[in-house]
Structure 1
Amino acid sequence: MSISNNVQGTRRLHLFIRIFFHREIGDEMSFYGLIIGGAAFILIGLFHPLIIHAEYHFGVKSWPAFLLFGIALSIASLLIKNSILSSILGIIAFCSFWSIKELFEQRKRVARGWFPKKPRGV
């Protein structure tokens, strides 16, 4: 590979970036997508054990709490002007909504013996 091929490849990359991302090389980058994506990844990971814990201690009767929490955070997400914070609150809200479904799925997993059942009277 010659130096002229490297230069030509670099020019093609710069052209690609200009056309598809409407940016020039050296422009400031936006990290919002990465921040929001990372937050979604972490929040989904945090909600998984939360569902297991809630089903173990409270059963599926805890679903209204997840519903109210999701509604409250959805409203808060609409009222907040900061894009990143609003997005993260929306993600938490929808993680909470999804948790309602997962509570009932967790009950099935417990019935199959995949997760421990809470002993009666404890």
Structure 2
Amino acid sequence: MEFLAQYNLTGIVIGIATFLIIGIFHPMVTKGEYYFGVKIWWLFLVMGIAAVAGSIAVRHILWSTLLAVWGASSLWSIGELFEQRERVAKGWFPKNPKRK
């Protein structure tokens, strides 16, 4: 971590990690809705609250920031999950024929 601070790379690491975290949540929402529907919204809520709480508890700026980004992405995904249901209803995404 001293290396990142020494060469002023913390910001670029946070930027890249944020991009990757957001990129991870897109398939989590689409696959989650496909296999389980919107009933998994509470998992995103628990994960978001835990990550935000962790962000407050962690003193290191890099890890605190990444936990906050993870938490915000988790909480944002709740709304995206319900919007994904609407996108499926419009035919923009496939509906899981095995799920009722």
- Same fold by TM (over 0.5)? yes
The offset of 1:121, in angstroms, is 5.5
TM-score normalised per structure 1: 0.74
Count of residues paired in the alignment: 95
Q: Does 1:117 align with 2:95?
A: yes
The offset of 1:33, in angstroms, is 1.1
Q: Percent identity?
A: 46
Runs of 4+ more than 3 Å apart? none
CA RMSD of aligned residues (A): 1.4
Contiguous gaps of at least 5 residues in structure 1: 1-27
Q: Give the corresponding residue for 1:65.
A: 43
Provide the rounded CA distance (Å) in 2 between the counterparts of 1:121 and 1:110. 13
Q: Are the structure 2 counterparts of residues 49 and 121 from structure 1 closer, same or farther at C-alpha, using a change threshold of 3 Å?
A: closer
TM-score normalised per structure 2: 0.89
Provide the rounded CA distance (Å) in 2 between the counterparts of 1:121 and 1:47. 22
The offset of 1:51, in angstroms, is 0.3
Contiguous gaps of at least 5 residues in structure 2: 1-5
Higher relative contact order (CA 8 A, sep 6+): 2
